[in-house]
Amino acid sequence: GEDVEQSLFLSVREGDSSVINCTYTDSSSTYLYWYKQEPGAGLQLLTYIFSNMDMKQDQRLTVLLNKKDKHLSLRIADTQTGDSAIYFCAECEGGSYIPTFGRGTSLIVHP
C-alpha cells in the first residue's frame, strides 16, 4: 500500500526559509498535497501539485516534486511566527480521490 513519510519537527528562525520534506512510495500518485493544521483547528488545504508538474509557486509557498525520487517539498519563504503549525503531506494514488496522509511536521518558528 501507499506510504507517506515526513520528519516530525522543524525549527526555523523568523525571516528564514523553511523547507518541509516528504517522501512517498506510490508511483501512481496523481495529486500530492500540503495541508496545514493550526492549533485548535482542522486540516486546511494549502496547496496541491499534479504529478506531471515539477514545481508550483503560490506567493511565499513553493512546492517541488521529484517524481524519480518520490520526493515532495514545501518551501515557505520569509517564515513568520504565524506559520507555526503542523504541515501534512498527502497523496492520492491513481484512481482514488481519498488522500493518504503522513504524520505531519511540526514547524516551530522562533524569533
The CA distances from residue 27 to 4, 16, 17, 47, in Å, are: 12, 32, 29, 20
Size of the site for other proteins (CB under 8 A): 23
Site membership for other proteins, residue 49 (CB under 8 A)? no
What is the full DSSP assignment across 45-79? EEEEEETT-SEEEETTEEEEEETTTTEEEEEESS-
Torsion angle (degrees, nearest 10) of CA 72, 57, 79, 99: -40
Selected from 14, 48, 60, 62, the binder of other proteins by CB under 8 A is: 48
Selected from 9, 68, 82, 97, the binder of other proteins by CB under 8 A is: 97
- Nearer to other proteins by Cβ, of 20 and 92: the residue is 92
Site membership for other proteins, residue 12 (CB under 8 A)? no
CA distance 45 to 74: 13
Interacting residues with other proteins between 69 and 88 (CB under 8 A): 88
Site membership for other proteins, residue 2 (CB under 8 A)? no
What cell was used for 68? 524519480
Question: What residue ranges bind other proteins (CB under 8 A)?
Answer: 4, 30-31, 35, 40-45, 48, 88, 90, 92, 96-104
